[in-house]
Structure 1
Amino acid sequence: MSVYAGLPLRLVCYAAGAAALSIVGPALWTVPTFIAAAASVATALCFAIADVLFSAHRLARRAFVMAAYHKAEVEALGARVATLERLRPAAPLAVTVPETRDASLETANNLLQFAAHVSARCGRQMTPDIGAGSDGDPIAEAQIELHLQPIVGIPDRRVQHYEVLSRLRSHTGTLMMPAEFLPAARATGRAADLDTRQLASIVGLCHRIGDRHMETRLFCNLSGDSLHSDGFRAALTAFAREQKALSQRIVFEIDAATAVTLNPEVAADLRGIEAMGFAFSVDKASLGDLPRLQGVFRRPGFLKLDATMLEKADPNVLKALARGGTQVIATHVETEDQATSVRRAGVELGQGFLFGKPRPARMDDNARRRAA
């Protein structure tokens, strides 16, 4: 029962308690009946007012957070449409249409059509962010910027690890979100380049941190386009060999939809990287993916499951994962009720807006040069 649903019941309990104290008060305190009744009513009113104020504060705070979240979504959508508009070529390109249609490009095209329709209805023209006469590649010219979202221990809320989220900062200072530049990066074959630049930035961040917080790990996301590139996997293997000292600091993260579709050659390369001491994390997973994931990894170090899914998960399966050395991380934890349910299921690590939003990582000049 939530705080707000239980409020009427608690008020009834306060009234019942006041009535009971009014009856037994004279015998307990040896005071006149009216004094005992007045004291009981006053005490009950104090508790009721405090409870109502506390519940109102929680409700107002949640409403404020949701309003801020929706405002950020609207702003991100506007920035996304503007960025997609400037990345779309002015004239049609002669390209070979693949047999399988890319859903992300179709979504981007629909967004652009919607933006053009809204602009026409409002009597305005969309203006690109890139300066006039700029014919360079906006992705190559942009600087990669790392943002960190904490992964905390749910019982004590202490930060244990961070997930690294990449953003692009254009030459005009505009911050581009992944939903804005990833479709264009995939369409132009630049996804592997972005992942390579991200790895270089993470290495710089590890050097900046130094020997502090040795148990804190940085989760680095790798895209499916990069993993299917033979050149990128060779570079990733060389990176793991050269940076073996960072094997306890960097965790490679892959989403479950990509992991279960990797061919045996890619899976063998990933198992080789595991053998060098690096751990892998599988994001957006479900318990039904476990049999297929066992054929890809030797043993996933971390498994990220949605908090709503964990509420109905079999505790025996979660215990078996822990015995096998796989740590489960609850994702999208946004309320205290979800944190309590996840903790009750036996999960110790959590990630979500309840524990912290992504924040820019502080990087020195050397780290920025590695990211360039």
Structure 2
Amino acid sequence: MSVYAGLPLRLVCYAAGAAALSIAGPSLWNAPTFIAAAASVATALCFAVADVLFSTHRFARRAFVTAAYNKAEVEALGARVAALEMLRPAASMTAAAPETHDVSLETANNLLQFAAHVSARCGRKVTPDFVADSAGDPIGDAQIELHLQPIVGIPDRRVQHYEVLSRLRSHTGTLMMPAEFLPAARATGRAADIDTRQLSSIVGLCHRIGDRHMETRLFCNLSGDSLQSDSFRAALTTFARQQKALSQRIVFEIDAATAVTLNTEVAADLRGIEAMGFAFSVDKASLGDLPRLQGIFRRPGFLKLDAAILEKADPGVLKALARGGTQVIATHVETEDQAASVRRAGVALGQGFLFGKPRPARMDDSARRRAA
């Protein structure tokens, strides 16, 4: 609703108040009628001007925030399209014969031109650092930066765990979001490298935390591209063996779309890591995924379900998960109504902007060196 929606009614109230004071003023203030009327009108006018200025300020602030959000969306679009432009085969850069016309390439070029046009209108060119610096290794040269989003107990809103979200900080200081660097990382086979560096950073963060909050766990995301790599799984198994002391601090998180497509070899490796004491979390899951997930893991330690799904979930299924040792986490909790609905469903843990947005993790120098 517009910030000016109730302004006319308020102005009418100010005018009515001025008229009432003009009539009652002479007897109330023991002043001449002209002076009482002037004072009443001046008072009402001051209130009206203040109301208009306040409403204009709110409108301008909302417009500024909306413009900044739209600008960020356009820059992200430009980054993704520019990444596609950088990663297309070298052969497609040459003039193609009419009979080998590439429709997808033409579409990508059109999108690139559109993104450049809109970004230029917003006052910035589409030159993200990881695309512009094509001569070096922009992904390898960038530094991993960890951001933490809290997972809280819904009844008391106390922080129980954190999900670790990785960002890349370029050599120029620009912070790159996953939507900007993940497509390029996957296309160039660098997803496993990012996940490996993320694990090293999380170990550094665990050491910084020390023995404080031993019950707090850090949820570390692993991409499907990394899990399909034999070398990465071997490194992950070695990591789990060497860092077994952190098995109660680190939770490996996989999205459901990746988990249900894992073959028997990958599933066997993950069960071996489970046997070392590490828990797994399945994100973006649905209740229909449960039979397949039970065939992959011994038991998922955590299952993340959207708050909208939990509102319609069968309480018996949720109780069966709890009896089996799986903790359900409600995700995308954005309103108090959703939090109340999730709590009524018997879910004790929640994650979403209602409870906290991702914030940069405080890391000491040794942790930063591990992230480099």
Sort the Cα spacing of 1:305 and 1:121 in 2 relative to 1 into closer, same or farther, 3 A: closer
Counterpart of 1:300? 300
Contact 1:259 1:293 in 2 (8 A): yes
| Equivalent pairs, count | 300
Contact 2:144 2:371 in 1 (8 A): yes
Contact 1:129 1:172 in 2 (8 A): no
Greater displacement, 127-136 / 159-168: 127-136
Counterpart of 1:128? 127
Counterpart of 1:47? none
Amino acid at match of 2:175: L
- Take 1:65 and 1:213, find their aligned partners in 2: how far apart are those partners? 39
Amino acid at match of 2:70: V
Contact 1:80 1:176 in 2 (8 A): no
The partner residue of 1:117 within 111, 114, 119 is 114
Could you say what the CA RMSD is over the residues aligned between the two structures, in angstroms? Answer: 2.9
SS of equivalent residue, structure 1 residue 236:
helix
Q: Deviations over 1:182-220 (max 9, x none)?
A: 010000000000000000000000000000000000000
Counterpart of 2:171? 171
The partner residue of 1:74 within 70, 74, 79 is 70
Deviation at 1:344, TM superposition (A): 0.1
Counterpart of 1:276? 276
Structure of higher CA gyration radius: 2
- Take 1:65 and 1:219, find their aligned partners in 2: how far apart are those partners? 36
TM-score (norm. length: structure 1): 0.74
Sort the Cα spacing of 1:140 and 1:178 in 2 relative to 1 into closer, same or farther, 3 A: same
Counterpart of 2:86? 89
Deviation at 1:113, TM superposition (A): 3.4
Counterpart of 1:370? 370
Deviation at 1:132, TM superposition (A): 7.5
Counterpart of 1:249? 249
SS of equivalent residue, structure 2 residue 157:
coil
- Take 1:176 and 1:259, find their aligned partners in 2: how far apart are those partners? 26
- Take 1:83 and 1:123, find their aligned partners in 2: how far apart are those partners? 13
Contact 2:145 2:166 in 1 (8 A): yes
Q: Deviations over 1:29-58 (max 9, x none)?
A: xxxxxxxxxxxxxxxxxxxxxxxxxxxxxx
Q: Deviations over 1:129-161 (max 9, x none)?
A: 449876112111111100000000000000000
Amino acid at match of 1:297: F
- Take 1:314 and 1:65, find their aligned partners in 2: how far apart are those partners? 43
- Take 2:202 and 2:141, find their aligned partners in 1: how far apart are those partners? 19
Greater displacement, 78-87 / 232-241: 78-87
Contact 1:148 1:361 in 2 (8 A): yes
Sort the Cα spacing of 1:233 and 1:108 in 2 relative to 1 into closer, same or farther, 3 A: farther
Contact 2:224 2:258 in 1 (8 A): yes
Amino acid at match of 2:127: P
SS of equivalent residue, structure 1 residue 160:
strand
Deviation at 1:79, TM superposition (A): 3.0
SS of equivalent residue, structure 1 residue 329:
strand
Q: Deviations over 1:284-321 (max 9, x none)?
A: 00010000001100000000000000000000000000
- Take 1:185 and 1:272, find their aligned partners in 2: how far apart are those partners? 27
Counterpart of 1:53? none
TM-score (norm. length: structure 2): 0.74
- Take 2:104 and 2:290, find their aligned partners in 1: how far apart are those partners? 30
SS of equivalent residue, structure 2 residue 289:
helix
List gaps (5 residues or longer) in structure 1: 1-62, 96-105
- Take 1:309 and 1:141, find their aligned partners in 2: how far apart are those partners? 40
Within 5 A, what are the aligned runs for 1:169-208?
169-208=169-208
Counterpart of 1:213? 213
Deviation at 1:174, TM superposition (A): 1.1
List gaps (5 residues or longer) in structure 2: 1-58, 93-102
- Take 2:116 and 2:65, find their aligned partners in 1: how far apart are those partners? 25
Deviation at 1:65, TM superposition (A): 12
Give the % identical residues.
76
Counterpart of 1:160? 160
SS of equivalent residue, structure 1 residue 155:
coil
Contact 2:71 2:119 in 1 (8 A): no
Contact 1:280 1:302 in 2 (8 A): yes
Sort the Cα spacing of 1:332 and 1:127 in 2 relative to 1 into closer, same or farther, 3 A: closer
Contact 1:85 1:128 in 2 (8 A): no
Amino acid at match of 2:161: H
